[in-house]
Amino acid sequence: MIAKTRTALIAALLVLAGASSPAIADGDAVRGETLGYTCLGCHGVVGYRNAYPSYRVPKLGGQKAAYLVVALQGYRAGTRSHPTMAAQASSLTSQQIDDVASYLASLGADTVTAGGSTAASLEETSTCIACHGQNGISLSPTWPTLAGQHEDYLVHALNQYRDGTRKDPVMAPLVAALSDNDVALLAKYYARLDGLETTKVE
């Protein structure tokens, strides 16, 4: 009964997400390369950490372009909280955001395509799979791939959804019941999968 209720909740939230998702324009990776150079100052350095709170900045290599657009729009709109990211996103037009996202997504995309060989077996992932895929590789272009993401960043992101610092109509109710232990288990599980990598120029 609980599983059916959870499935129905997820289905309803996905419909809501689809209805509220912004239209994603096509980006130009060539134009985005120049604009995205600044991003590599943090996201292109292996192990680079956010100062406070301390966590490794997320891997963007191979992340979906449409999701990167959603994330940057969130920083610009204030639904995501980070002073540096908000300033960066606010300095870009919508077209420039699309271009930067296309460029960043092109770096390391082959790694994600080749990954995902480990089947999800952790019970806590049963809800996550509906959006983020059986192996942490997302099923929709506007949802993030989690496979290979830094463990401490995943903990940080989940905690932001839990405390409302990061606002999302789908994630908020799904993470509300997670315990600290659940968050730790999920982050460790997805971080160990093959997938995302630190953004770098080949």
Is 134 part of any domain? yes
- Asked if residue 45 belongs to a domain, the reply is yes
| pTM of the predicted model as reported, rounded to 2 decimal places | 0.83
Range of the domain at 54: 2-191
Residue with structure tokens 């990061």? 166
Question: Would 147 be classed as within a structural domain?
Answer: yes
Q: Is residue 201 part of a domain?
A: no
pLDDT band at 86 (very low <50, low <70, confident <90, very high): very high
**Is 108 part of any domain?**
yes
Q: Which helix (H) or strand (E) holds 70?
A: helix 65-77
pLDDT at 142 over 80: yes
* Within a domain: 44: yes
Does residue 90 form part of some domain? yes
pLDDT band for 70, please (50, 70, 90 cuts): very high
Position 202 in a domain: no
CATH number of the domain that 6 lies in? 1.10.760.10
Number of domains in the chain: 1
Q: Which residues pair with 56 in a beta bridge?
A: 49
Interval 30-46 mean pLDDT: 93
How confident is the model over 100-133, as pLDDT tens digits?
A: 999 999 887 665 655 555 555 677 788 899 999 8
With a CB cutoff of 8 Å and minimum separation 6, the contacts of 189 are 120, 122, 124, 125
